[in-house]
Amino acid sequence: MPTEVQEIVSAEAHPNAGGPGPGDVIVTDNLWKTYEMGDQQVNALRGVNLRIKHNEYVAIMGPSGSGKSTLMNLIGCLDSPSKGKYWLNGHNVSELNDDELARIRNKEIGFVFQTFNLLARATSLHNVELPLIYNGTPAAERIARAKAVLESVNLGSRMMHKPNELSGGQRQRVAIARALVNKPSIILADEPTGNLDSKTGVEIMALFDDLHAKGNTIVVVTHEPDIAEYAHRIVTIRDGAVASDHPSARMTAGG
């Protein structure tokens, strides 16, 4: 009897221990992140088990401080877990060194942040070119690709504007263009509409809908239920673990 109980408990803690299956893009097994603050330890994540398939559209919700940004940073290979395993497109990322992490991040992931994170003194074109400079793309190809992706987010007429010469929504579209220029398969967005009015937020979410329709996998952190409803699946994080995981109303309301 005691052995049986133990087995049930460990199966609950490790539902993803077997790693990725066909079509899985993001798989975490009992992911922990502990921040050391002097002699204090903050357990920001306490055993996150998540499985996201190719071309899923997922919203992550949860109270402030529940661990959403920490989880996004781990999923995006910006940080490493303290414990547990993470597979990205079948690679066991928890075993990669910093160089390999940077390479896989550059190739597979496009990030969009609440505060846009654009270079203030650079034009839209230059901001979007930057990821291509980092990976050594020749100048002519760089400019052509940056222009094309800016046009795809309807900023063809704002290529030479600097961030302070753009509206908030336009800045976020530059940031999305920058996230897309390396043709990543996964778009991660942490509160992408947090600094925008609701009408502009809707425009940005329409852009994510397009990207999803084009085959990208999308994970969006938001505290706004209206924004989360753009996604097809809503995962709620509480105290550093998954508290609920269900299809959005968009998916359940009459197909």
Ligand X SMILES: Nc1ncnc2c1ncn2[C@@H]1O[C@H](COP(=O)(O)OP(=O)(O)OP(=O)(O)O)[C@@H](O)[C@H]1O
Binding site for ligand X (CB under 6 A): 35, 37, 42, 44, 62, 64-70, 223
**Helix (H) / strand (E) containing 36:** strand 24-37
Q: How many CA atoms lie within 13 A of 202 on its CB side?
A: 3
Q: How far is the CB of 159 from ligand X (least distance, A)?
A: 32
Q: Which is nearer to ligand X, 159 or 243 (CB)?
A: 243
Judged by beta carbon distances under 5 to 8 A according to partner kind, the member of ligand X, Mg ion, none in contact with residue 66 is ligand X
In DSSP terms, 41 is beta-bridged to 36
Chain centroid, CA 209 distance in Å: 15
Q: Which is nearer to Mg ion, 84 or 192 (CB)?
A: 192
Judged by beta carbon distances under 5 to 8 A according to partner kind, the member of Mg ion, ligand X, none in contact with residue 206 is none
Q: Which is nearer to ligand X, 66 or 182 (CB)?
A: 66
Q: How far is the CB of 172 from ligand X (least distance, A)?
A: 17
Judged by beta carbon distances under 5 to 8 A according to partner kind, the member of Mg ion, ligand X, none in contact with residue 25 is none
CA–CA separation, 189 and 170 (whole Å):
16
Judged by beta carbon distances under 5 to 8 A according to partner kind, the member of Mg ion, ligand X, none in contact with residue 67 is ligand X
Q: How far is the CB of 62 from Mg ion (least distance, A)?
A: 9
Q: How far is the CB of 189 from ligand X (least distance, A)?
A: 13
Q: How far is the CB of 93 from ligand X (least distance, A)?
A: 18
Q: Return phi, psi of residue 235, to 5°.
A: -110, 125
Q: Return phi, psi of residue 33, to 5°.
A: -135, 120
E strands in 55-108: 57-61, 83-88, 91-92
Burial category of 53 from C-beta neighbours within 10 Å (exposed 0-12, middle 13-18, buried 19 and up):
middle
Q: What residues make contact with Mg ion under the rule CB under 5 A?
A: 69
Q: Which is nearer to ligand X, 73 or 152 (CB)?
A: 73
Q: Which is nearer to ligand X, 79 or 229 (CB)?
A: 79
Between helix 139-152 and helix 168-180 the angle, nearest 10°, is 130
Q: How far lies 182's CA from each of 55, 71, 120, 131, in Å?
A: 17, 23, 21, 7
Q: Which is nearer to ligand X, 114 or 124 (CB)?
A: 114
Judged by beta carbon distances under 5 to 8 A according to partner kind, the member of Mg ion, ligand X, none in contact with residue 145 is none
Q: How far is the CB of 243 from ligand X (least distance, A)?
A: 12
